[in-house]
Amino acid sequence: MKVLITDGMSKEGLSILEAAEGLELDVRKSTAKEELLEIIGNYDAVVIRSATKLTEDLIDAGKNLRAIGRAGIGVDNVDVPAATKRGIVVMNTPEANAITTAEHTITLMLSLARQIPQAHSSLKEGKWERSKFKGREIYGKTFGLIGLGNIGKLVAERALGLKLNVIAYDPFLSKEAADRLGVELVSLDDLLKRSDIITIHTPLTPETKDLLNKDSLQKTKKGVMIINCARGGVVNENDMAEAIKSGHVGGCAFDVFVNEPPEEGNPLLALDENVVFTPHLGASTEEAQTKVGLAIAEQIVDFLLNGVVKNAVNMPSVSLDVLKTIGPYLTLAEKLGSLQGQLCKGGVKEIQLQYDGEISELDTRPVTVSALKGFLAPMMDVVVSHVNAPVIAEERGIKVIESKSSQAKDYTSLITIKVKTDEGESQVAGTIFGTEEPRVVGINGLKVDVVPSGYMLVSENQDRPGFVGAMCTTLGDNGVNIGLLHLGRESIGGRAIVFTNVDSPVPDEVIEKIKNLPDIISVTQVNL
């Protein structure tokens, strides 16, 4: 079997692949797309880093391709749906560079506090400006983390070691899990008001885009320092530049940007003082590159030679025979989990999965993992896979309960997911229509019939004449095209729900207009 390595690999990783009997290596430091299109069909596996972009046409050209290995966390450069459609396993190394990123966060914080880059440049210019570069001591300061996932937890541990007062905002983390870390869990507004230093450790989602903007920055302490080694776009760069120029924000240190490299004219790069910038170096250490090389090499060997799947982002660790039977339920469970993850509010305490009917006779453990993956993915700062989803749930103090019944009243098989949070409970249920079409058939006690796909608005309202028309008019007047509508209600004039399929994401200002309609209870945008 042939393995192509396109972006180079650490010698430690190469040695593992070279020692594996039955594998033939082709190592290239870089490969142009045109060349890759011609040769990729000759290989059983390809190992990449960030430079190679495996688009749909490249994946389709890989006629013999069985596995894609990403030496690193992010799989943004891989068309995962295309690979999944072709039955190609996509694997990453989710934990190999977490420490490096956490250390870079602390490094940027200290560099910003003591103005290290500016002082260095001044000295190189022949100046001796001791009085100009008066820094700030961090001891005893309040350190606020936005996001307390895998990397956020490591940063918290290091901040505590520096004798900082650590607080965190994470709407999906239970208080008990935060207490075990020695971190005070607070609201976002509280974090903004109290923090002397703010660090970001959250994925870029519709909910986190521009999380720190003109309005939220005005809630912060005057002189606050803001660090971002997570994702560009969580901070509005224009608003941040203005806040620094006004003196309200004391400085920022960024490793990530909306566009990488930043476009000419980026207002942040025009600033000389109270800023520190690095070109996305969070994972760039010798140790991290060695770790990711070792990890992906071992995973490729295990898969090709032993049929073992580790750290897959698009399939569970099960045999192909079992996968054929439960495949549709894996998709259904992930969709239901994702819907719950995007709709639920508060710190998550418990997830209950009920399997009724024929599915209760199957091994449902991979199905449960798929549900956890779908649930956790929208809220995590790392790629959530079928492998790491249970570990992440355990680390966050989420209790997972399975129950089964051979009886399913209205369906051959039914999956119900109930989530308990600090703020209440929510429930969704789904089934398979035909042989493989997933359907949502219940939500919080209301019967529905929804194909979970694409962008959707999920709105709850009082059942009054004119509400659906008013909402559709609002969307249409603002250029949002509606694909499908799915309605459900508990009784005439009672609580009702509307699933609205739209062709593109609905702007925040349009959602605000819907929230102001008469009889509206809530509206949430989800992407399934």
In this predicted model, what pLDDT tens digit does every residue of 400-457 receive, in sequence order? Answer: 999 999 887 788 999 999 999 988 899 999 999 887 889 999 999 899 999 999 999 9
Boundary residue ending a domain (220, 252, 277) = 277
Closest CA to 296 of 286, 284, 311: 311
The span from the CA of 274 to the CA of 114, in Å, is 10
Same domain? 149 vs 237 = yes
Same domain? 247 vs 273 = yes
Same domain? 254 vs 297 = no
Choosing from 70, 201, 231, 396, which is the catalytic residue? Answer: 231
Half-sphere exposure of 268 (CA within 13 A, CB side): 25
User: Is residue 267 a part of any domain in this protein?
Assistant: yes
Judge whether 386 counts as a catalytic residue: no
User: Is residue 419 a part of any domain in this protein?
Assistant: yes
- Which pLDDT score is estimated for 279? 94
Same domain? 367 vs 482 = no
User: Is residue 303 a part of any domain in this protein?
Assistant: yes
Model confidence at 316, in pLDDT bands (50, 70, 90)? low
Closest CA to 485 of 472, 499, 475, 473: 499
User: Is residue 447 a part of any domain in this protein?
Assistant: no
Phi, psi (degrees; rounded to nearest 5) at 78:
-125, 130
Judge whether 423 counts as a catalytic residue: no
**b/e per residue, 9-45, with b = 16+ CB within 10 A?**
bbeebbebbeebeebeeeeeeebeeeebbebbeebbb
User: Is residue 407 a part of any domain in this protein?
Assistant: yes
What CATH number did the domain enclosing 473 receive? 3.30.70.260
Same domain? 192 vs 271 = yes
Same domain? 57 vs 195 = no
User: Is residue 380 a part of any domain in this protein?
Assistant: yes
| Amino acid (1-letter code) at residue 315 | M
Model confidence at 380, in pLDDT bands (50, 70, 90)? confident
Model confidence at 95, in pLDDT bands (50, 70, 90)? confident
User: Is residue 148 a part of any domain in this protein?
Assistant: yes
Closest CA to 227 of 191, 210, 251: 251
Same domain? 228 vs 116 = yes
What CATH number did the domain enclosing 362 receive? 3.30.1330.90
Model confidence at 236, in pLDDT bands (50, 70, 90)? very high
Q: pLDDT tens digit string along 123-164?
A: 999 999 998 998 999 999 999 999 998 889 999 999 999 999
What CATH number did the domain enclosing 214 receive? 3.40.50.720
Same domain? 364 vs 218 = no
What is the residue range of 67's domain? 1-95+284-315
Closest CA to 242 of 214, 264, 209: 214
Q: pLDDT tens digit string along 283-313?
A: 888 888 888 999 999 999 988 988 778 888 8
Whether 470 shows a pLDDT value over 80: the answer reads yes
The pTM of the full predicted model, rounded to 2 decimals, is 0.73
Choosing from 129, 260, 437, 512, which is the catalytic residue? Answer: 260
Average pLDDT value over all residues in the chain: 90
Same domain? 325 vs 347 = yes
Query: How many folded domains does the chain comprise?
Result: 4
**b/e per residue, 166-196, with b = 16+ CB within 10 A?**
bbbbbbbbbeebbeebebbbbebeebbebbb
User: Is residue 440 a part of any domain in this protein?
Assistant: no
Same domain? 138 vs 257 = yes
The span from the CA of 520 to the CA of 514, in Å, is 8
Judge whether 158 counts as a catalytic residue: no
Same domain? 88 vs 2 = yes
The span from the CA of 325 to the CA of 58, in Å, is 29
- H or E stretch at 159: helix 150-161
Same domain? 55 vs 144 = no
